[in-house]
């Protein structure tokens, strides 16, 4: 029950955030995407160094 409430609350917050602050939402998602890219690049560098 708690998981369902938190899930729907999170979805509602995302919709509200995107609807009322689209520029800030875009910045947050761009930052998250950049972070995921950095992590992937780090794993790639690690495995390249491991196999080289």
* pLDDT tens, position by position, 16-48: 999 999 999 999 999 999 999 999 999 999 999
pTM passes above 0.75: no
Q: What is the DSSP letter of 45?
A: H
* pLDDT tens, position by position, 7-20: 999 999 999 999 99
Residue 35 phi, psi dihedral angles, 5° rounding? -65, -45
Q: Where in 1-52 does DSSP place strands (E)?
A: none
Residue 52: per-residue pLDDT: 79
């Amino acid at each position: 029950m708690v998981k369902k409430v938190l899930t729907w609350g999170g979805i509602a917050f995302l919709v509200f955030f995107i609807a009322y602050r689209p520029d800030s939402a875009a910045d947050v998602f761009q930052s998250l995407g950049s972070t995921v890219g950095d992590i992937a690049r780090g794993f790639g560098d690690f495995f390249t160094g491991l196999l080289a």
